[in-house]
Amino acid sequence: MNTRHSGIGMTSQRTRLRMIERLREQGIRDEAVLAAMFEVPRHLFVDEALASRAYDDVSLPINFNQTISRPYIVARMIEVLRAGKPLGRVLEIGTGCGYQAAVLAQVAKEVYTVERVQPLYERARRQLRDLKLRNVSVRHADGSIGLPELAPFDGIIMACAAPALSSALREQLAVGGRMALPVGTQEQQLYLVERDAGGFRESTLEPVKFVPLLMGKQ
């Protein structure tokens, strides 16, 4: 067995269990999300030099001025997206290193994830392929416009902060769908957008801190 995959020392199952216990203490209640967080080896998505901190509740750098979100935020956003129900087709904006997409793959039927920075896209695609996650499709594209050709989505999740709620992304939500995204520049809030037959409902959940949404590809 690949010891880097199975985990030794600071990346062991015991370390992952401590992370799950901490997530419970922080208020995460969705057992499917907790199981997904335990299943995905977060240490594989960070540089080996940072592997000892992989299961701490901190964001970590992944180069190109991007970060891997802290475990609580990943769990919280996916819990908000699920709302206790199975997820069908999900769109993620901002693949980064691919960690959140890997967790989403445990609880959604299909995951489409978009990354604008080519080296991050290539790294995430390779890592997700190595983990044999066949229900994830990684795209190198400008995520700010979503993937209209594949809409509608049951869930949309953003790993970067938009200055305002995106009407383009909102329109790609299926009826009954939910979108979780950080909004704001200096001060950011986690927003939930829900779509039903009557239209859209928006609510703010809690303060967050994300890298900004950027336009175009590089």
Judge whether 216 and 116 are in contact, CB under 8 Å: yes
What domains can you pick out in the chain, each with its CATH number? 61-208 (3.40.50.150)
- What pLDDT score was predicted for residue 1? 33
- What pLDDT score was predicted for residue 11? 54
Per-residue confidence at 5, pLDDT binned at 50, 70, 90?
Answer: very low
Query: Residue 38 and residue 183: Cα distance in Å, rounded?
Result: 28
Segment 13-18 shows an average pLDDT of 90
Phi, psi of 117 (to 5 degrees): -95, 115
- What pLDDT score was predicted for residue 3? 36
pLDDT digits (tens, 9 = 90+) for 112-132: 999 999 999 999 999 999 999
- What pLDDT score was predicted for residue 138? 97
Percent of the residues in the chain that have a pLDDT greater than 90, as a whole number:
72
Prior bond to 119 cis, omega within 30?
Answer: no
Question: Taking 50 as the threshold, does the pLDDT of residue 2 lie above it?
Answer: no
Question: Taking 90 as the threshold, does the pLDDT of residue 133 lie above it?
Answer: yes
Tokens of 138: 């990684």
Residues with a known catalytic role: 69
Tokens of 148: 């209209």
The pairing of beta strand 173-183 with beta strand 153-158 = parallel
Query: Residue 131 and residue 103: Cα distance in Å, rounded?
Result: 11
Mean predicted lDDT score pLDDT of the chain: 90
pLDDT digits (tens, 9 = 90+) for 73-104: 999 999 999 999 999 999 999 999 999 999 99
Question: Taking 90 as the threshold, does the pLDDT of residue 12 lie above it?
Answer: no
Question: Taking 50 as the threshold, does the pLDDT of residue 71 lie above it?
Answer: yes
Query: Residue 130 and residue 22: Cα distance in Å, rounded?
Result: 28
pTM of the predicted model as reported, rounded to 2 decimal places: 0.91
Question: Taking 70 as the threshold, does the pLDDT of residue 204 lie above it?
Answer: yes
Closest Cα partner for 79 from 35, 42, 28? 28
- Where are the extended beta strands (E) located within 29-172? 60-61, 67-68, 87-93, 108-115, 136-140, 153-158
pLDDT digits (tens, 9 = 90+) for 134-173: 999 999 998 889 999 999 999 999 998 988 888 889 999 9
Question: Taking 80 as the threshold, does the pLDDT of residue 48 lie above it?
Answer: yes
For tokens 């980064």, the residue is: 96
